[in-house]
Amino acid sequence: MDGFHKIYACCQYAHAAVESLEELLARRPDVEASSDIGRIIVETHWRGLALNNPRPATSLAAKFSLPHIVASVSHLRHAGAEAFSAATLQDPAIAALRERVELARYRPDPPDRPARVTWFLRTGERLEAECRSARGGPDRPFAPWEILEKVRGITAPVYPRMAEICQALVALDNAFLDMRWTDTVARMTAGASP
């Protein structure tokens, strides 16, 4: 009950920044990240300041780079696995935007891992959004259907039955609860694609 669930495909320390970006993107869908945003400031907790690599060399490094996370989400408008793929590392628009991301310490010192993201548009306009506590923890949990949808999105290409079986387990379906775990796993992985 005290665990944390991640819905985005990046370091949890960046999730509040992603939620802030989602608010900005919803508020201003007309903003074209590569051409309209001149600079981005991300105010984050002290641990988040360590995620400061503007030139990650791998997809894994991209998931731990606030400049990449913010640039990629601003450009692609989502924080799914594709936002951290090898293609995003080479994307010239994302690479240029990463160089315009600055990190600063969030004040006052927070109890959790908040973020405040400010876009400075080339028009002179300044847009800001803040998330004091990212979803996924006990204070702001995801609904079971949101977690199951995440499982479906991740597993469906390889294990098409995985989400269906997980849904039955979450619903406490006795047909699966009484089954040996190896048999449950066999059903989850049935029809797997290479």
115-143 pLDDT tens trace:
999 999 999 999 999 999 889 888 888 88
At 99 the pLDDT is 97
At 191 the pLDDT is 83
CA-based end-to-end distance of the chain: 35
The answer to whether residue 3 scores a pLDDT higher than 80 is no
Domain 12-131 class, CATH top level? alpha beta
* CA separation for the pair 145, 41 (Å, rounded): 33
Q: Where in the chain is the domain with CATH 3.30.1330.120?
A: 12-131
45's CB contacts (< 8 A; 6+ apart) are 13, 105, 106, 109, 110, 112, 113, 114, 115
At 125 the pLDDT is 96
**Overall pTM > 0.95:** no
Are 41 and 120 spatial neighbours (Cβ–Cβ below 8 Å)?
Answer: yes
Q: Which residue do the tokens 């699966």 mark?
A: 176
The answer to whether residue 150 scores a pLDDT higher than 90 is no
DSSP string, 90-148: H-HHHHHHHTTEEEEE-SSPPSS--EEEEEEETTS-EEEEEESS-TTSTTSPPPHHHHH
Rounded to 5 degrees, what are φ and ψ at 62?
-65, -35
At 103 the pLDDT is 98
- pLDDT tens-digit series, residues 60-95: 999 999 999 999 999 999 998 899 999 999 999 999
Q: 1 pLDDT band (50/70/90 cuts)?
A: low
Strands 101-105 and 37-44: parallel
Query: What's the whole-number average pLDDT of the chain?
Result: 92
